[in-house]
Amino acid sequence: MIKKMNEYCPHLLLAIYILEFGILAINPYDRSVWWAENLPVLIPGLILVVTYKLFKLSNLSYFLIAFFFMFHTVGGHFTFERTPFDYFNDLLSRLQFDFIFPDDRNNFDRVGHFLVGILAYPVSEFFLRKKWVSNIPTAIFLGIVALGFWGALYEVIEMYYAVYQGGSSGASFLGSQGDVCL
């Protein structure tokens, strides 16, 4: 029974994600921002589905990927600056984390940036299992470097989209929350 559950875990996670995606596709705050936020999730998601029979990751990797994709999809629905996140923002204030989060901004975007780090595990696992590296420290290092590269690339794409789209859609995608965008 447990073996069957382990075998179908990626399928269950995919089904949950598709359900969430379908629900959050209904009436997002800004449709162009919704697409811009969801394409970076849909493309690797489709790659994982297509290559599943060729190469399987661990259930932990699939869970971490699904968790990040689901978080990102919520941000795409509301925009990262408008996602209801008051409980977490209030908790930070009560815990007196003002030295880290000194303003009244919605911290959903900051948590999203932090959560990119959980993807280092699946990337490291991929490097090890493909035998592109032979030891765990090197795999972890390369996983972090790969995420740094993709994170920086995403920020550049985000900036170009904001400049190209302009207006409130550009600012919403960028998550500037009132910062001056030049």
Tokens of 110: 């900051």
pLDDT for 176 equals 53
Does a structural domain hold residue 51? yes
Question: Alpha-carbon distance 92 to 98, whole Å?
Answer: 7
Does a structural domain hold residue 12? yes
Does a structural domain hold residue 165? yes
pLDDT for 54 equals 92
Does a structural domain hold residue 181? no
> Is residue 115's pLDDT more than 80?
yes
Does a structural domain hold residue 79? yes
H helical segments located in the chain: 2-24, 31-50, 59-78, 86-94, 108-115, 120-129, 136-165, 167-174
Average pLDDT over residues 140-157: 89
Phi, psi of 53 (to 5 degrees): -75, -25
pLDDT for 51 equals 94
pLDDT in tens, 166-182: 666 666 666 655 554 44
Domain that holds residue 170: 2-174
pLDDT for 101 equals 61
Does a structural domain hold residue 160? yes
Does a structural domain hold residue 167? yes
Beta carbons within 8 Å of 24's beta carbon, 6+ residues apart:
73, 74, 76, 77
Question: Alpha-carbon distance 56 to 59, whole Å?
Answer: 9
**Integer distance in angstroms from the first to the last C-alpha of the chain?**
57
| Greatest CA separation for the chain | 57
Does a structural domain hold residue 180? no
Question: Alpha-carbon distance 57 to 61, whole Å?
Answer: 6
Say how many domains are in the chain: 1
The pLDDT-based confidence of 111 (bands split at 50, 70, 90) is: confident
The pLDDT-based confidence of 99 (bands split at 50, 70, 90) is: low
Helix axes 59-78, 2-24, angle to 10 degrees: 10
DSSP E strands in the chain: the ranges are none
pLDDT for 87 equals 78
Which of 27-31, 95-99, 108-112, 163-167 has the weakest average pLDDT? 95-99
